């Protein structure tokens, strides 16, 4: 059986289907480059820290747009230590209707081998199937979640702090974009240094300290978000990279994302 922590790590930190009510939003897909052409930058040099946060929050979408992360299909390519094997990568498709239902089809390449893994979970009960082997029963509370883990990169959870301060960025630009830096302090969490693109207001990088490989010394975790696209009113970073001590922990490229109002429950049967 696979534990809750293992599955969560494989999702967050890593087909033709019969869909009921799924609407692809091709005409609403747009990237950040269109906004980069604006002559009027969203963030201004004299904006205080709270104003920067307020503007950045509005840019990613209102609550109705963000709430769409509870139901949909996301396809993505993953590298890093959430992928089984030292040098492999995975191609993954998640079908989610949360809380309650989750399905994953994962194809892993590494060591000259290809491995297919399927998970299906319905209200905490489900199956895991590796390759052609028989599906094994599993218990997992992952389906108690109310949205897909990738939602956190649109929701900007690190900005829910209680103290905001302007900081000078380490460089004037990130990926060629002028940035404004904000330090966010939490009462119960480590502080985050966040860097927003001045032109678009989008979050490009955030850093925080985490336990290091040496228990007596903390390390810095750098998270980079890029290739934003608007999907049905929600700005989504299609590339997510997290690097600690010079080592890539997570490298995700979202290939396709479709939100849906509801799926037919026949999608979540035993594999």
Fold of 4-14+30-268: outer membrane lipoprotein receptor (LolB), chain A (2.50.20)
Query: Which range, 13-27, 64-78, 188-202, has the best average confidence (pLDDT)?
Result: 64-78
Q: How many CB atoms lie within 10 A of CB 163?
A: 12
- State pTM to two decimals: 0.80
Average pLDDT over residues 227-237: 96
Which sequence spans correspond to the domains of the chain? Answer: 4-14+30-268
- Provide the percentage of residues in the chain whose pLDDT is more than 90: 52
Give the pLDDT of residue 21. Answer: 33
* pLDDT per residue as tens digits for the range 100-142: 999 999 998 766 678 899 999 999 999 999 999 999 999 999 9
């Amino acid at each position: 059986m696979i534990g809750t922590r293992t599955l969560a790590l494989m999702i967050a930190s890593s087909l033709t289907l019969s869909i009921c009510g799924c609407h692809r939003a091709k005409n609403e897909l747009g990237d950040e480059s269109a906004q980069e052409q604006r002559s009027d930058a969203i963030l201004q040099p004299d904006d205080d820290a709270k104003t920067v946060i307020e503007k950045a929050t509005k840019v990613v979408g209102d609550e109705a747009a963000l709430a769409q992360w509870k139901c949909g299909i996301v396809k993505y390519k993953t590298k890093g230590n959430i992928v089984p094997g030292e040098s492999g990568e995975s191609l993954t498709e998640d079908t989610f209707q949360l809380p309650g239902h989750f399905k994953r089809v994962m194809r892993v390449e590494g060591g000259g081998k290809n491995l297919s893994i399927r998970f299906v979970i319905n209200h905490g009960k489900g199956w895991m199937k590796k390759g052609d082997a028989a599906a094994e029963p599993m218990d997992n509370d992952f389906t108690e979640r109310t949205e897909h883990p990738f939602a956190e990169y649109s929701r900007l959870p690190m900005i829910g702090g209680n103290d905001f301060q302007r900081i000078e960025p380490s460089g004037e630009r990130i990926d060629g974009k002028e940035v404004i830096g904000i330090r966010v302090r939490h009462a119960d969490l480590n502080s985050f240094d966040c860097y927003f693109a001045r032109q678009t207001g989008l979050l490009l990088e955030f850093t925080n300290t985490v336990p290091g490989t040496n228990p007596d010394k903390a390390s810095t975790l750098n998270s980079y978000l890029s290739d934003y696209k608007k999907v049905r009113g929600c700005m989504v970073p299609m590339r997510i990279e997290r690097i600690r001590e010079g080592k890539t922990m997570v490298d995700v490229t979202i290939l396709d994302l479709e939100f849906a109002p509801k799926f037919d429950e026949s999608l979540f049967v035993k594999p």
